Amino acid sequence: MDLLDNLLLGLSTAFQLKNIGFCLIGALIGTAIGVLPGIGPIPTIALLLPFTFGLEPASAMIMLAGIFYGAQYGGSTTAILVNVPGETSSVVTCIDGHEMAKRGRAGAALATAAISSFFAGTVATVVIALLSLPLSALALKFTAVEYFSLLVLGLIAAVVMAHGSVMKSLAMVLLGLLIGLIGIDVNSGVARMTFGVTELSDGIDFVPVAMGLFGLGEIIANLERSGADRRVVTQSFRDLIPTWADMKAAFPAMLRGTVIGSVLGVLPGGGAALPPFTAYALEKKIAKDPSRFGKGAIEGVASPEAANNAGAQTSFIPLLTLGIPSNALMALMIGALMMQGIQPGPQVMTEQPVLVWGLIASMWVGNLMLLVINLPLVGVWVSMLKIPYRLLFPAIVLFCCIGTYGISNSLFNVWLMLGCAVVGYFFIKVGVEPAPLLLGLVLGPQLEENFRRAMLLSDGDFSVFLRHPISAGLLAVVAILLLAMLSPAVLRKRKEALTE
Amino acid sequence: MHKRIDWPDMLFGLFLLLVATGTLVATRKLSIGSAANMGPGYMPRVIAVAVIGFGLFFVIRAVWRSLKNFDGLDIERVQSRPLLGIVIAGAVFALLVESAGLAIASVASIVIAAFATRDVRPLEAVIFGCVMAALSVLLFVTALSLPVPVWPPFLD
């Protein structure tokens, strides 16, 4: 019983006192940034990365993961009470969740959201544990050829599944790859595109890039929009325990949401953003009386909330088993691993069992904590919403500055972050999503390394990628995805699915 | 209806062309090598050429759409206040942190950043700046032991 042994190992790691502590810290930070609109998990994790350097790998990953799924819990609180999504993944929760709150059922909505998230989180933890071993066993057979094709598939699929124009996202991936090439070439020792700057010889650090593009760029754009007042629904949360009828209505929706989230989370480009939209659309479609939706239907809260939490967790699967991030956040996680001196890839499963299984088990522990953090303590988080944005954003700017400086005590990184902030603002203005750039930046070095090795082995014959069956299969999927994107019918469907 | 250029596409395309050309110039001296044994200049050039392709695509599409009377998208007006406020706040932090210490750099960047929005309250910003400076010294220097001076080094 390999699985049982592994889970026991994971649980014993996750239940070490210090790891419980880091899990709790992660969950608390995650809930806080989830509740606060305008701060997402990406800049937060980027900010904390430099300080995880001194921790053990398992503790660092446990805390960072806690921030990610904690944010999914926190985001729903703001969505329900203020009708503003705390995170993009809780956009749909606003629709029926806030409507429930307006009808005096805020307690029931919050409880449904938290319980759905917990249920989905528990199931997703099991899914990760079940899928991880076979997937990594398969990936261990990969050579440079297969790995290159897999990286290409990961990048292309992430682009196709994410928001925004496919052409623009592809261009952004290439830009990211280009920036990733900066630094000393490993094979020849020649400096590339460093412009004589010594700080660039190790390559561009992705933390300042992520903070500039996602943190500061977003703040600048936020400040341009007129600051509408947030109105918090104030009512006592005495009845936090949903009625039996509520639970009966919510449970099937919770189940469907969990399945959708788990499946979409694993796919490249998955994560927490896409699943709730899909889940909500499905609930509306199969409901006996679709007109209830938008007027406080409890299924409209249960299903998307289950889906975003399940998706957040299962998106760790490609990262842990293949070393491939499915979204920008997982790209940061890859960075966290590399900071710890761990080369991401299928070998991580076998070489770092304590880390992998500790992380998996900690997700369940973290979900349990989040249930407690979010339900009885909801009042604490609501009071955080009273902090006005005019105080919040200068604090974020300061923390970003100190954080980037802290990576290696270099002012260069602060300037780099400021440059990226301006570029990030430009991207927002011209309507381009910055996430694919980060993926390209993180995966660039691996992509080049594997490509060069594959070409060396095949003596410069490009057809090698088609002659290896697994690689050919992966590239075929890439081709199908790209062709599908060009067909007008699919384009229209995708637009509908993403805007709904 | 008058013709308008799709500015977001146009600017993004030009941006891509600029970056790719810069790359080609910066890597012009690196050897390309062959496909079997790539030199350091191989990948940058391949990707730069692809980026040029995308850049041309967006620029041409923007122009073509304006010729077809397609109602191009405008870019929302750029407001200088948030942009300058945030960037200057960061720049001041970078200039001050090593020479004047974390405490002073923190207060300065908080106060400047606060002015990035129109509903700034100067007194509140100064007080908040002092509180945040104290917090960040406690968090980053005391708790996380970031090696950075707290006060101007000449005071020590």
DSSP B85-143: HHHHHHHHHHHHHHHH-HHHHHHHHHHHHHTTSTT--HHHHHHHHHHHHHHHIIIIIII
Bridge partners (DSSP) of residue B63 are none
pLDDT of residue B132: 92
CB contact under 8 A, A190 and B30: yes
- Mean per-residue pLDDT of chain A: 83
pLDDT attached to residue B133: 92
- ipTM of this complex prediction, to 2 decimal places: 0.91
Q: What is the pLDDT of residue A455?
A: 87
Could you tell me what percent of chain A has a pLDDT over 90?
A: 16
What is the H or E stretch that residue A183 is in? strand A183-184
**Inter-chain touch A430–B106, beta carbons under 8 Å:** no
Closest CA to A273 of A156, A389, A424, A158: A158
A184 pairs with which residues across the strands?
A191
Pick from A301, A215, A303: nearest CA to A258: A303
Contacts of B137 (CB under 8 A, 6+ apart): B102, B103, B106, B150
CA distance A246 to chain B (A): 43
Helices A389-408 + A41-48 axis angle, to 10 = 40
Residue A219 contacts B where some CB pair is shorter than 8 Å: yes
Tell me what pLDDT residue B3 has: 55
Q: What is the mean pLDDT of residues B130-134?
A: 93
Of A175, A398, A421, the CB nearest to B106: A398
| pLDDT at res. A378 | 81
Instruction: Determine how β-strand A191-192 pairs with β-strand A183-184.
Output: antiparallel
Give percent helix, percent strand, percent coil of chain A, each to the nearest 5: 75, 0, 25
For A378-395, how does the pLDDT look when each residue is reduced to its tens digit (9 = 90+)?
Answer: 888 888 877 888 888 899
Looking at residue B51, its pLDDT comes to 94
User: What is the pLDDT confidence band of residue A497, given thresholds at 50, 70 and 90?
Assistant: low
Nearest CA in chain B to A217: B83
More confident residue, A254 or A379: A254
Q: Which of A192-206, A247-261, A300-314, B87-101 has the lowest mean pLDDT?
A: A192-206
Q: pLDDT band at A221, cuts 50/70/90?
A: confident
- Please, are residues B6 and A430 in contact by the beta-carbon 8 Å criterion? no
The model's pLDDT over A198-216, given as tens digits with 9 standing for 90+, comes to 778 777 888 888 888 888 8
Task: Answer whether B16 sits within 8 Å of A187, measured CB to CB.
Answer: no
Minimal CA separation from A252 to chain B, in Å: 44
Distance CA A168, CA A172 (A): 6
Q: What is the pLDDT of residues A90-130, one digit of tens each?
A: 888 888 888 888 888 888 888 889 899 999 999 998 888 88
CB contact set of A185 (below 8 Å; sequence gap of 6+): A191, A192, B40
CA B16, A176, A170, B38 dihedral sign is positive
| pLDDT tens, position by position, A60-82 | 999 999 998 898 888 888 888 88
Q: Which of A201, A226, A387, A398 to mutate to test the interface with B (most CBs of B within 10 A)?
A: A398
How many Cα atoms occupy the beta-carbon half-sphere of A70 within 13 Å? 34
Q: Which tens digit of pLDDT belongs to each residue from B87-97?
A: 999 999 999 98
With CB atoms and an 8 Å threshold, state whether A174 touches B7: no
- Residues contacting A306, CB < 8 A, separation 6+: A116, A117, A119, A120, A253, A254, A255, A256, A257, A258, A261, A279
